[in-house]
């Protein structure tokens, strides 16, 4: 290779390396601020400030959904299989919201330890298959839902 | 035999090659899109969880892949242009930008349409969505930077440097779902493990991805031809080209 070209190539590679390392360090420093939601364990062990609006993500505990008669008030628990947080919400839930499925709730943690959600989002996983395949997996005792 | 790597970096040779390849890839893109959409909308089975709504994946995932990949290609040609000083490299880097911006916009748009019924929100500020939005801004900035500098060679160098600096965003987009908690689900298809989707669904998606490739090649080559004429309209080969066309 032409020495001039070699020099320029080295410059470009070095510049890319410097930019890459700088971005990696910055992203690493902001790690905790870049998460979209916190886990129930982080909330239960007070790793996050709970005196302001936050998001908690996890699975809806099976059997925990309770709807008020005739109202839009609903309560359920979000768990990461270690800790769980009770949630109260008034409003319309997304179609994919269900027991045992992923969810992200946004709101404030009340003084009574119940999370008052202002928004409930459904988090689905990256598995796509026909219903028959999902049934077969379930019969085989394998869960298709990943937290 | 020694390969001459710079054979097609000669503008007249590239101009002729691009003129032959572009219509070919346009035809291929049309064919693959028809096949891919047919597979996606009529052949692929309903999803166990999202029902028919998941079918937007056949557009969303291919355009999202393409939006990231085009940026990598722009960065590659920019580096080539800076190192080798080949004019065609800079033309290719410039020609790919509008197509990349288009795919990024489509990715965000189809994502919003998918997010509302499934997640319950058009938009959330999670790492995946935010970094993809930054990618759109990078594409728009590349176009603005180009338009702001009158001198072509200075514009080439400025845009090439900008493209190289911005390339760090691409791995951030790709790995964001792995590095941080996001609302966006993880990758269904990756190099390290078996895809987590039914094979007909996967096949339809790959056909659509190939269609996006063909479309990108076709449009960027066509655009590169026009840019090349704009830049070198006064040169000997361009004059001969037009003299030939007129006859």
Residues A100 and A68 in one domain: yes
Here the tokens at position B66 are 């393409």
Q: Which of B82, B183, B184 to mutate to test the interface with A (most CBs of A within 10 A)?
A: B183
Is the confidence at residue A128, as pLDDT, over 50?
yes
- How does strand A73-79 pair with strand A115-123? unpaired
| Integer Cα distance of A6 and B120 in angstroms | 53
Residue of B59, B53, B168 whose CA lies nearest to B106:
B59
Residues A70 and A10 in one domain: no
Question: What is the model's pLDDT at position A142?
Answer: 61
Q: How many domains does chain A have?
A: 2
Residues found in chain B: 247
The least confident of B119-123, B208-212, B233-237 is B233-237
Residues A46 and A81 in one domain: yes
- pLDDT (tens digit per residue) in B19-47: 999 999 999 999 999 999 999 999 988 88
Q: Which of A128, A131, A134, A139 to mutate to test the interface with B (most CBs of B within 10 A)?
A: A128
Residues A77 and A126 in one domain: yes
CA distances from B216 to A24, B25, B71, B132, B209 (A): 31, 9, 12, 19, 11
| Integer Cα distance of B133 and B130 in angstroms | 5
| Integer Cα distance of B95 and B18 in angstroms | 12
Give the residues across from A38 on adjacent strands.
Answer: A56
- pLDDT (tens digit per residue) in B183-230: 898 888 877 777 888 888 999 999 999 999 999 999 999 999 999 998
Count CB-CB contacts under 10 A for residue A116. 14
Question: What is the model's pLDDT at position A144?
Answer: 52
Instruction: With respect to residue A145, please indicate whether it lies within any of the assigned structural domains.
Output: no
Instruction: With respect to residue A46, please indicate whether it lies within any of the assigned structural domains.
Output: yes
- The answer to whether A30 faces chain B, any CB pair under 8 Å, is no
Give the residues across from A120 on adjacent strands.
Answer: A105
Instruction: With respect to residue A144, please indicate whether it lies within any of the assigned structural domains.
Output: no
Residues A102 and A129 in one domain: yes
Residues A44 and A63 in one domain: yes
Residue A18: give the domain boundaries: 3-33
Helix (H, G, I), strand (E, B) or coil at A3: helix
User: Judging by beta carbons within 10 Å of its beta carbon (0-12, 13-18, 19+), is residue B153 exposed, middle or buried?
Assistant: exposed
Residues A11 and A83 in one domain: no
Residues A25 and A71 in one domain: no
| Integer Cα distance of A110 and A52 in angstroms | 10
Residues A20 and A92 in one domain: no
Annotated domain spans of chain B? 56-229
In this structure, what CATH number is given to the domain that contains residue A112?
Answer: 2.40.50.140
Query: What average pLDDT score do residues B73-92 get?
Result: 94
Residues A88 and A112 in one domain: yes
- The answer to whether A38 faces chain B, any CB pair under 8 Å, is yes
ipTM above 0.85, yes or no: no
Instruction: With respect to residue A73, please indicate whether it lies within any of the assigned structural domains.
Output: yes
Tell if the CB–CB gap between B183 and A36 is shorter than 8 Å. yes
Residues A111 and A56 in one domain: yes
Helix (H, G, I), strand (E, B) or coil at B92: helix
Tell if the CB–CB gap between B120 and A93 is shorter than 8 Å. yes
Residues A17 and A44 in one domain: no
* Structural Rg of chain A based on CA atoms: 22
Please state, for a pLDDT cut of 70, what percent of chain B lies above it: 98
Question: CB-based contacts of A24: which residues, under 8 Å, 6+ apart?
Answer: none
Question: CB-based contacts of B197: which residues, under 8 Å, 6+ apart?
Answer: A126, A127, A128, A129, B188, B189, B205
Instruction: With respect to residue A147, please indicate whether it lies within any of the assigned structural domains.
Output: no
């Amino acid at each position: 290779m032409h020495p001039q070209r070699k020099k320029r190539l080295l410059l470009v590679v070095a510049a890319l390396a410097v930019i890459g390392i700088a971005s990696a360090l910055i992203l690493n420093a902001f790690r905790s601020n870049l998460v979209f939601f916190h886990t129930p364990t982080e909330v239960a062990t007070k790793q996050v400030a709970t005196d302001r609006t936050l998001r908690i993500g996890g699975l809806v505990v099976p059997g925990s959904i309770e709807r008020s008669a005739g109202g839009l008030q609903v309560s359920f628990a979000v768990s990461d299989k270690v800790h769980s947080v009770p949630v109260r919400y008034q409003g319309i839930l997304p179609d994919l919201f269900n027991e045992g499925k992923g969810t992200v709730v946004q709101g404030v943690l009340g003084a009574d330890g119940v999370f008052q959600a202002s928004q409930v989002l459904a988090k689905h996983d990256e598995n796509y298959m026909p219903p028959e395949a999902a049934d077969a997996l379930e019969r085989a005792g394998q869960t298709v839902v990943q937290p | 035999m020694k390969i001459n790597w710079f054979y097609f970096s000669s503008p007249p040779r590239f101009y002729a090659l691009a003129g032959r390849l572009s219509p070919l890839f346009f035809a291929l893109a049309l064919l693959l899109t028809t096949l891919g959409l047919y597979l996606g909308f009529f052949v692929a089975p309903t999803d166990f969880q999202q029902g028919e709504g998941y079918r937007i994946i056949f557009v969303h995932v291919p355009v999202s892949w393409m939006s990231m990949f085009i940026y990598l290609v722009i960065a590659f040609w920019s580096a080539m242009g800076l190192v080798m000083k080949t004019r065609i490299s800079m033309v290719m880097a410039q020609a790919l930008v509008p197509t990349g911006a288009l795919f990024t916009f489509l990715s965000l748009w189809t994502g919003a349409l998918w997010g509302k019924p499934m997640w319950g929100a058009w938009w959330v500020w999670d790492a995946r969505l935010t970094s993809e939005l930054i990618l759109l801004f990078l594409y728009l900035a590349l176009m603005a930077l180009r338009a702001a500098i009158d001198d072509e060679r200075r514009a080439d160098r400025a845009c090439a440097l900008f493209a190289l600096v911005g390339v760090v965003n691409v791995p951030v987009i790709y790995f964001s779902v792995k590095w941080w908690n996001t609302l966006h689900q993880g990758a269904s298809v990756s190099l390290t493990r078996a895809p987590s989707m039914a094979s007909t669904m996967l096949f339809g998606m790959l056909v659509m991805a190939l269609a996006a490739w063909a479309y990108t090649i076709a449009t960027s080559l066509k655009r590169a031809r026009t840019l090349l004429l704009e830049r070198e309209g006064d040169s000997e080969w361009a004059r001969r080209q037009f003299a030939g066309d007129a006859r």
